[in-house]
Structure 1
Amino acid sequence: MATSLKVAVVGAGVAGLSAARELQRESHQIVVFEKSHRLGGTWAYDPRVESDLLGLDQNREIIHGSLYKSLRTNLPRQLMSFTDFKFSDKTYGDERLFPGHEEVLKFLEDFAGSFELTELIRFNTVVTRVELVDSEIIEFEVESKTNGMNTVEVFDAVIVCNGHNSEPRPAYDIPGTFM
């Protein structure tokens, strides 16, 4: 029988939910850290716009906004599925071949709810540090912050699924006029 590990998953988007589901199948103990108030990662649309689009102000409120209101996927819904949870089996009011971001988010919420993954997620929690503390038995300290309170926990493994679209990255070092 395989050993059950305590695993931290950073991010509750597609990759984080997929990782949590596969870990759950293997009966591992899972904690998913999500800095937002909801799951979905890049598929969680926010109509707000940052006040500093270039990201020069390090103290600005960072608004995750890699979607636009009318965005549709570039994959047909039949390909937007998990092995044991088919997108094409779900009806969200729009049955066009390429679903909109609202449908993808509902699908992810349904996926998480169907497999009780939502209960594993710590919303509004930012991971501030991950450190290997024992290389012989492989242990990681994960420091997180929720509502101003820091917490340090030890995990056997850490899976980072925070995505590359979570914060704007303007190119500051290109010579010439900065627009």
Structure 2
Amino acid sequence: MVRYKYYFPFLDTKGEVTVDDNRVGPLYKHVFPPALAPGLSFIGLPWQITPFPMFELQSKWVAAVLSGRVSLPSQEEMMEDTKAFYDKLEASGIPKRYTHLMPDDSQFEYDNWLADQCDYPRIEKWREEMFYIGFKRIYAQSATYRDNWDDDHLIEEAYDDFVKFMSSYPELLPMLKT
């Protein structure tokens, strides 16, 4: 399992944001430090996820907040939410270093929460299925998981979504035929 060690020697937050046992915090929803929001945000801390859709949604949320289209809760409400999340991890016996780990369905719940904040489409079901199929394959056949695929139906769904998206840009449609 690949995991980064978080370290920000260039960032002086006067102790408002710390890294303790690889937990960057306190952060509201893994992004905003309540005491410094919205002026400081973190994109890309969660791990064991499908990264690019999540990071795009985090970026859209930050942009919506900075533009004033979306409001954050009060500093106190963000701290209460963050503390409740940390307390839940602790009660479950999960060490701080796993704060930004998103196992099981939590990444898609989080992605869809972010999408709802920005009034953006939720994560496609085919994308979720691809993630789960890939992870099962990795755990079952770690050395050969890239060799055999049984998700052609999901690739077709992804392609169909792509074509729908591209239909909004008719000048680019000829590229699909090559």
- What TM-score do the two structures reach when normalised by structure 2? 0.25
More helix by share: 2
Structure with bigger strand share is 1
TM-score w.r.t. structure 1 length? 0.25
